[in-house]
Amino acid sequence: MAEEGRYVPEGIADEFTQGEPARGAPASGEEQPRPSRPSAPALGLVGTLRWMWRQLTSMRVALMLLMLLAVAAVPGSVLPQRNQDAAGVIEYLADHPTAGEWLDRAGFFDVYTSVWFSAIYILLFVSLVGCILPRSMAHYRALRGRPPRVPFRFDRFPAKASATTDASPEEAADAVAARLRGKISWLPTFRVDRGEEPARGVRPASATVSAERGYLRETGNLVFHLALVGLLVSVATGQLLHYRGQAIVTEGRGFANAVVDYDTFEKGSWFRPESLMPFSMTLDRFVSEFASDTVAFAQARDFTAYVTVTEPSGEQRPETVKVNHPLVVDGAKIYLQGNGFAPDITVRDAEGELAFSGRVTFVPQDTMYTSRGVVKVPDVSPGLEQIGLVGYFLPTAEVEPDGSARSVFPQPVDPLLVLEVYTGDLGLDEGTPQNVYELDTASLTPAVEDSGERVKVLARPGETVDLPDGLGTLTLGEELPRYVALDLRHDPSLGFVLVFSLLALGGLTVSLFTPRRRVWARAYVAQDGATVVEVAGLARGDDAGLQAEVDRALAAVPDPVVERAPVVEPDPVVEPVETRTRSEKD
């Protein structure tokens, strides 16, 4: 047996492992040092950075980052976002004080501008670019290459066929080559090389054909990934340059395309107010249609806003804005988001002085346009308490015997204004912004009847009614103006997003459905004087149409006599050279 502590390869007899020790080795009987375990060389800073770059630019990491980006975008669609619904964020924080605080610290209410979302976005962009560049170079070199030479043996290929013909080998090979190239010269089906092969062993000299197709598969794959990069750049550019504004416009009035004229306005980091086109728009009238039949009673049929757009040159043109049919001005789309009633309300205080006069926006709460609104009257005479009115506007009112009222149709057939009255400090003099659609009644005193119920003021168009407790009077105008909620959006990247999305879809389709095939053909004169034509095919992966491709190529031979038996090849004189390329082996 071999000495303890020495490495002896398995299967080697002991007599072959014993002998004189190697030069420099310890003599027999001396304690031999245990060999140290091999250790890998240190990567160093450059090696570590190179390893990290290779990991980042691998397709596996790119797919993981793409999936991670999709998962990271989920909170942005589930939780309210500050730039879209600031009031919803405040409400969520109030309802979930503990969880909301931690979510806010982690940026879940500003997902798309958070550090972690931006980091994933940038890493995905870098990963795709680093993955695409080397693959593009390799694909370019492959496109400039030629089909591989004809293999010596055809019997090992999954698709093969042979036939005999009276045509010469050159004619048969030319016919197969023409069939593989296709009918369109500038867009060949296969890339074809027509060649000659000298005699080898018992095989005579042959005319050969090498053909290859399927490079569009990798082209489509690269187009898909390039389109993803284009989508990332387009979306990022759109977020930096976009702007969006909302405005409430009543009939007979309008707004100018300026930041200060919008009720709410959000913009990207690179947006500049001077880039806005100085046009203006006036709402001439608003028309709504509702079904009055019993089958689809009160269902909306149509909403149309008739507007007049004034260009910076002073030119005016009439336009219409409908649901799902926005108006396009200077690349910005103006959408019709909502509508309602904005009745004229006039309030005089106890001294008879005009305290409030204007149109008040009432927001619909249901399909019958039961609309809620608030009237804040801070400008009363000195020494008088401020007045707050909150209630509903009913387009078609139906008053119940108990005094309650509701709307039974969205059109103003029998309109009625129902308001509750509050007095006290409205808090407007403190300079703190308030929601114009809400009245904070916590510090206000409601007007109540002797029974303790709150007083309700009812007014119809053209009526003037007294406010309780001698607070003054309220007048509802004869006309009932309508208002529309307009949403103006401008995103210069939308066209690019559409183009890159279509490119990604097209590239993915080409990549998935383009077969990668190689076809070889050999024609030679057999001992009986007939020309033998052999065709074989090879595909990357499973390809159900490969045999049919081989049969079509063989059918191009003049007057073929097809032999369905497997191709039997003579033994080669020399060992054949491997015909697979490096990419096939990988």
Q: Give 32-86 pLDDT, tens digit per residue.
A: 666 666 666 777 888 888 888 888 888 788 889 989 999 999 998 889 888 777 7
Residue 257, CA distances (Å) to 281, 329, 514 in order: 8, 10, 51
pLDDT tens digit string along 154-170? 988 999 999 999 999 99
Residue 30 has a pLDDT of 56
Distance CA 522, CA 159 (A): 14
Distance CA 238, CA 241 (A): 5
Residue 131, CA distances (Å) to 58, 221, 353, 375, 566 in order: 6, 12, 75, 61, 43
Q: Tell me, what amino acid is at 131? A: C
Q: What is the DSSP letter of 270?
A: T
Residue 19 has a pLDDT of 52
Distance CA 272, CA 109 (A): 25
pLDDT confidence of 91, banded at 50, 70, 90? confident
303 within 8 A of 322, measured Cβ to Cβ: yes
Which distant-in-sequence residues (6+ apart) come within 8 Å of 444 by Cβ?
Answer: 388, 422, 423, 424, 425, 426
Residue 574 has a pLDDT of 42
Instruction: Please list the residues that pair with 563 across neighbouring strands.
Output: 162
Closest to 282 (Cα-Cα) out of 256, 254, 262, 316? 254
Residue 554: burial class (beta carbons within 10 Å; 0-12, 13-18, 19+): buried
572 within 8 A of 549, measured Cβ to Cβ: no
Instruction: Please list the residues that pair with 493 across neighbouring strands.
Output: none
Residue 58 has a pLDDT of 83
Three-point CA angle 149, 155, 157, nearest 5°: 65
Distance CA 498, CA 480 (A): 43
Q: Within a 10 A sphere around the Cβ of 67, how many other Cβ atoms?
A: 11
Mean pLDDT of the residues in the chain: 86
Query: Which residue in this structure is represented by tokens 């993915």?
Result: 508
Residue 190, token pair as written in the block: 């296969």
Residue 169, CA distances (Å) to 295, 509, 529, 549 in order: 81, 39, 11, 20
Closest to 224 (Cα-Cα) out of 509, 513, 514, 540? 509
pLDDT tens digit string along 168-199? 999 999 999 999 999 888 888 999 999 999 99
Report the SS3 class of residue 282: strand
Q: Name the most confidently modeled range: 36-40, 255-259, 426-430, 520-524.
A: 520-524
Burial of 285-305, coded b for 16+ CB within 10 Å and e otherwise, reads ebebebeeeeeeebeeeebbb
Give just the sign of the alpha carbon dihedral 85, 90, 91, 93: positive
402 within 8 A of 380, measured Cβ to Cβ: no
27 within 8 A of 21, measured Cβ to Cβ: yes
